[in-house]
């Protein structure tokens, strides 16, 4: 099908009366089918119980206080808590502001002494945040608001009198800028600090040294590279930025430790290395390498503290924690590794300040609840204590996690985690659901997934394949699955599915696939390239029209990852796999459930509408092609617990029905 003969182009306009009518018909049909599925009512009850387990975020220190998010019991949204003197109290509960549960806390930044928190709220999952300020002592609102602060990056001044922050023009998805806000002033008077003349698609992150003298801004170009600019605020021109790095081809992630920038970079190091840059002498010839690249592991995260540096590596998609101790004279020396993590566990976050001895480390497992440890450097090494943890109300020993390795069609080894109940016989008779993502340098490490329990308890297998395009093995792995190499991601996925079947882990006639966003693109491609391989597919908030994706919402940010459809050379490889353009008529496509949301401000819902219509018109099979457009949700962030329960029940009832679970 050629783009010039697009009979479903009208579905790109969500307000077109034809689109409104089409959506109503599709939603009614989908609800009629899903609500009648035999497993669904029981799954709603089970997910209601499992989602009471809640969540726990990694705390961020502000003075003697620690701030963190957590969702507990039947709370519809995660709330912001503060711990002081060992006592937790709710600082901000979005549901108290909006009993419908549709308002979410998008982001938050405590001030250096923990007296004020800047935070962003949005509604219906649209992520178009408005910034608010809250006094911590009395949990009292300041009354100041700043609009257009989607995905805000913010750096407080040391005296808490104001902050640097990112903001967009009114109603815009591009041209982010950095401003300086002084508390008590109106936001329209904020000084524009950085961004004028920069490419409209760049994103900016301000980071201020603890003493407030030096400000760096990271200018990000997608997930591929960034520049670093430095301003000395003690100078005659406090916002005169000089380039430290202008790199078209490498990532520099910089954090302050005193007057030194501690930088994680993949320049000349695909697995990343750690360097130090003195703000007083930032010339490249004065840079010091703190930790060289490790060929066997990728440096995934780092956190500088007052007395050392914690580094989190990925080795074969499993976390390994190392640390460096302060060696005096502004040097750091390697001291050892923390150890203690098991298969299926991972570090999900690490936070520290260079004026505090504490480092907070968050870990989870597929079936182990989130846990936060407090690390502190001592004379003999490093001290570890549990800061908080959430226990799952089921026994993880009743389930097994194994890591398997398969080979893609070009010989590349692809790792895959496989989960099952310990009592499930892996003899080629079990149904399986395979999940993948493969993009944007994002590592698919183990995450806490209590929602898998009903599927595993029903005798199902769940597998997560670590595909090229992700970040699991460094930048070479990432670039091996982007732009003209994107087909590698899909081939890796097929190899994982075939491995499950060939090694009798799963029944080859009962393999389903699941993915969202870039992973939704993966599932959509798999449906049109290898429909015979799968029995069912759940495709959430997907990209499907790769020749027009860049025309909607924030999608121009992804051109570095996918390619530019307006460039004929890029359009050729995009057209070769674009799911919407490669649907074939009279093919028996497997049972498919496509889910999107009207308030998605990342991936336009038109992708799902057009792809669903095209599949429905093309399939020659009897299995349903279902499309559902949620009216009060977005890309996924901020979805209330009640909607999560309904969505999970739909997804797993669908898989159980079309993968033959009794």
Dihedral sign of CA atoms 128, 134, 140, 141 in order = negative
Please give the angle made by the CA atoms of 327, 331 and 335, to the nearest 5 degrees: 50
**Which pair of structure tokens corresponds to residue 461?**
């297998």
Q: 27, 628 in Cβ contact below 8 A?
A: yes
Between helix 641-658 and helix 17-35 the angle, nearest 10°, is 70
Virtual CA dihedral for 505, 510, 514, 519, nearest 10 degrees?
Answer: 70
Q: Which two tokens stand for residue 373?
A: 């440890």
Question: Residue 393 and residue 49: Cα distance in Å, rounded?
Answer: 9
Q: Tokens 């390697």 identify what position?
A: 334
Residues 594 and 629: beta-carbon distance below 8 Å: no
In contact, 624 and 589? CB cutoff 8 Å: no
SS3 string, 210-233, reads CCCCEEEEEEEECCCEEEEEEEEC
**DSSP 8-state assignment for residue 587:** B
Rounded-to-integer distance, Cα 558 and Cα 35, Å: 36
Q: Is residue 517 among the annotated active site residues?
A: yes
Does 495 participate in catalysis according to the annotation?
no
Per-position b or e across 75-86, b if 16+ CB within 10 A of its CB: bbbbbbbbbeee
| Cα 58 to Cα 360: distance, rounded to the nearest angstrom | 7
Q: Please list, residue by residue across 492-501, b when 16 or more beta carbons sit within 10 angstroms of its beta carbon and e when fewer do.
A: bbbbbbbbbb
Can you say whether the dihedral through the CA atoms of 440, 444, 445, 446 is positive or negative? positive
Those residues whose C-beta lies under 8 Å from the C-beta of residue 129, and which sit 6 or more positions away, are 106, 107, 120, 121, 122, 149, 150, 151, 152
Phi, psi of 400 (to 5 degrees): -125, 145
CA distances from 522 to 86, 164, 358 (A): 45, 38, 41
Among the options 209, 373, 443, 517, which is catalytic?
517
- Catalytic amino acids? 517, 635
């Amino acid at each position: 099908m050629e783009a010039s003969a697009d009979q479903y182009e009208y579905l790109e306009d969500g307000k077109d009366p034809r689109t409104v009518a089409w959506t109503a018909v599709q939603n009614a049909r989908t609800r009629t089918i899903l609500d009648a599925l035999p497993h669904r009512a029981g799954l709603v009850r089970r997910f209601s119980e499992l989602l009471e387990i809640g969540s726990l975020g990694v705390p961020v220190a502000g003075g003697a206080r620690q701030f963190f998010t957590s969702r507990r019991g039947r709370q519809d949204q995660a709330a912001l808590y503060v711990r002081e003197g060992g006592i937790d109290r709710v600082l901000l509960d979005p549901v108290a502001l909006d009993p419908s549960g549709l308002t979410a806390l998008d982001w938050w930044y405590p001030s250096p002494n923990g007296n004020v928190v800047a935070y962003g709220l949005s509604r219906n999952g649209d992520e178009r945040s408005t910034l608010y300020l809250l006094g911590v002592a009395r949990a009292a609102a300041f009354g100041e608001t700043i609009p257009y602060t989607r995905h805000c990056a913010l750096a407080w001044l040391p005296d808490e009198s104001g902050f640097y922050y990112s903001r967009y023009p009114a109603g815009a998805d591009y041209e982010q800028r950095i401003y300086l806000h002084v508390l008590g002033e109106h936001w329209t008077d904020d000084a524009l600090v950085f961004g004028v003349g920069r490419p409209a698609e760049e994103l900016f992150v301000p980071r201020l040294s603890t003493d407030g003298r030096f400000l760096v801004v990271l200018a990000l170009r997608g997930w591929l590279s960034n520049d670093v600019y430095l301003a000395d605020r003690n100078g005659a021109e406090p916002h005169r930025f000089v380039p430290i790095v202008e790199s078209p081809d490498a990532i520099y992630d910089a954090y302050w430790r005193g007057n030194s920038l501690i930088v994680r970079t993949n320049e000349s190091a695909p697995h990343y290395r750690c360097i130090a840059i003195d703000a007083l002498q930032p010339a490249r010839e004065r840079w010091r390498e703190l930790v060289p690249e490790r060929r066997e592991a990728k440096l995934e995260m780092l956190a500088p503290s007052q007395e050392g540096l914690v580094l989190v590596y990925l080795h074969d998609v499993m976390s390994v924690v190392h640390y460096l101790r302060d060696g005096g004279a502004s040097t750091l020396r390697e001291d050892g590794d923390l150890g203690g993590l098991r298969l299926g566990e991972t570090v999900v976050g690490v936070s520290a300040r260079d004026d505090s001895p504490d480092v907070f480390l968050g870990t989870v497992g597929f079936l182990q609840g989130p846990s936060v440890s407090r690390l502190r450097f001592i004379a003999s090494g490093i001290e570890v204590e549990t800061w908080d943890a959430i226990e799952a109300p089921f026994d993880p020993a009743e389930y097994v996690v194994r890591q398997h390795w398969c080979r893609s069609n070009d010989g590349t080894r692809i790792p895959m985690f496989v989960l099952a109940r310990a009592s499930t016989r892996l003899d080629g008779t079990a149904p399986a659901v395979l999940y993948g993502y493969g993009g944007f340098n994002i590592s698919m490490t183990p995450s806490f997934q209590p929602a898998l329990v009903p599927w595993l308890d029903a005798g199902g297998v769940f597998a997560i394949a670590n595909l090229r395009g992700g970040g699991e093995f460094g930048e070479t792995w990432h670039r091996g699955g982007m732009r003209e190499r994107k087909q590698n991601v899909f081939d890796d996925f097929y190899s994982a599915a075939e491995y499950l079947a060939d090694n009798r882990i799963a029944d080859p006639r009962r393999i389903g696939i699941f993915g969202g966003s870039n992973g939704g693109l993966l599932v959509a491609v798999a449906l049109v390239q290898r429909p015979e391989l799968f029995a069912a597919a759940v495709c959430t908030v997907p990209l499907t029209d790769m020749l027009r994706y860049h025309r909607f919402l924030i999608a121009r940010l992804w051109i570095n990852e996918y390619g530019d459809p307006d460039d004929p050379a890029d359009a050729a490889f995009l057209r070769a796999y674009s799911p919407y353009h490669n649907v074939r008529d009279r093919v028996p496509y497997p049972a498919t459930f496509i889910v999107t949301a009207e308030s998605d401000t990342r991936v336009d819902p038109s992708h799902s509408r057009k792809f669903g219509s095209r599949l429905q018109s093309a399939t020659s099979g009897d299995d349903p092609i279902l499309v559902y457009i949620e009216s009060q949700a977005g890309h996924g962030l901020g979805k209330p617990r009640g909607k999560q329960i309904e969505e999970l029940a739909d997804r797993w009832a669908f898989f159980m029905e079309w993968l033959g679970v009794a």
